[in-house]
């Protein structure tokens, strides 16, 4: 799940989850209404940002030309004097999963075996990997946490270590 990180008056980053399945998905930044839209397909989804004409939006230092452009993980979005960050990273969770009846069983990208049982579905790209929890036997598959990150670059840590936050903003 993508989110917007906004600096909170209590001196901490606060995450607002973007529900991109709702149209329009609008977030107010610096008094301007910004629309976030999911584009692309299946395993190659990206997020586009759309602003109204005459609103000056800066995405990681680049002016949003024509009021539309793609945002990627950790992009800074600046409108007026407000600065927020876009993040695609979410703590991965282990779920019990089996393919729908009659559906083709996907293969694990790591061990190439059929996917079923306890798995992690990558929060960024949606690929599914085997992932038994910590109480499982030694023979259980831990394909998701085998490497530091998914093929798409999303970190695999399931203890929250992958929750990225920008540097704090200390008011003068
Ligand atoms: Zn596997
Ligand atoms: Zn991924």
Q: How many angstroms does the Cα of residue 45 sit away from the middle of ligand 2?
A: 11
Q: How many angstroms does the Cα of residue 123 sit away from the middle of ligand 2?
A: 7
Contact partners, residue 30, CB within 8 Å, separation at least 6: 78, 79, 80, 81, 82
Query: Would you place residue 23 in the very low, low, confident or very high pLDDT band (cuts 50, 70, 90)?
Result: confident
**Residue 3, φ and ψ in degrees, nearest 5:** -145, 165
- Residue identified by tokens 């979410």 is 90
What is the location of CATH 2.60.200.20 in the chain? 3-87
pLDDT score, position 27 = 96
Q: How many angstroms does the Cα of residue 43 sit away from the middle of ligand 1?
A: 18
> Tens digits of per-residue pLDDT, 100-143?
888 888 999 999 999 989 999 988 788 999 999 877 776 789 99
Q: How many angstroms does the Cα of residue 153 sit away from the middle of ligand 2?
A: 6
The token duo for 62 is 């680049």
> 3-state class of 144 per DSSP?
helix
Measured from the alpha carbon of residue 109, the closest ligand is 1
Burial category of 160 from C-beta neighbours within 10 Å (exposed 0-12, middle 13-18, buried 19 and up): exposed
CATH topology of domain 3-87: Tumour Suppressor Smad4 (2.60.200)
User: 19: how many CB neighbours lie within 10 A of its CB?
Assistant: 11
Contact between 83 and 122 under an 8 Å Cβ cutoff? The reply is no
Measured from the alpha carbon of residue 144, the closest ligand is 1
Q: How many angstroms does the Cα of residue 65 sit away from the middle of ligand 1?
A: 43
Q: How many angstroms does the Cα of residue 143 sit away from the middle of ligand 1?
A: 5
> Tens digits of per-residue pLDDT, 52-95?
888 999 999 999 999 999 998 899 999 999 999 999 877 888 99
- Residue identified by tokens 């452009």 is 69
Q: How many angstroms does the Cα of residue 149 sit away from the middle of ligand 2?
A: 8
């Amino acid at each position: 799940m993508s989110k917007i990180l906004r600096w909170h008056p209590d001196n901490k980053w606060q995450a607002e989850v973007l529900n991109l399945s709702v149209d329009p998905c609008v977030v107010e930044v610096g008094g301007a209404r910004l629309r976030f839209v999911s584009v692309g397909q299946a395993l190659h989804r990206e997020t586009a940002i759309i602003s109204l004409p005459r609103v000056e939006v800066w995405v990681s230092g680049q002016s949003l030309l024509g009021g539309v452009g793609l945002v990627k993980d950790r992009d800074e979005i600046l409108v007026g004097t407000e600065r927020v960050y876009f993040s695609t990273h979410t703590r991965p969770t282990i779920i019990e999963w089996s393919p729908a009846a009659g559906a083709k069983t996907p293969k694990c990208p790591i061990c190439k075996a059929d996917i079923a049982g306890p798995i992690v579905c990558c929060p960024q790209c949606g690929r599914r990997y085997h992932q038994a929890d910590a109480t499982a036997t030694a023979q259980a598959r831990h394909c998701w946490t085998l490497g530091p990150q998914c093929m798409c670059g999303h970190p695999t840590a399931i203890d929250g270590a992958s929750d990225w936050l920008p540097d704090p903003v200390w008011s003068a």
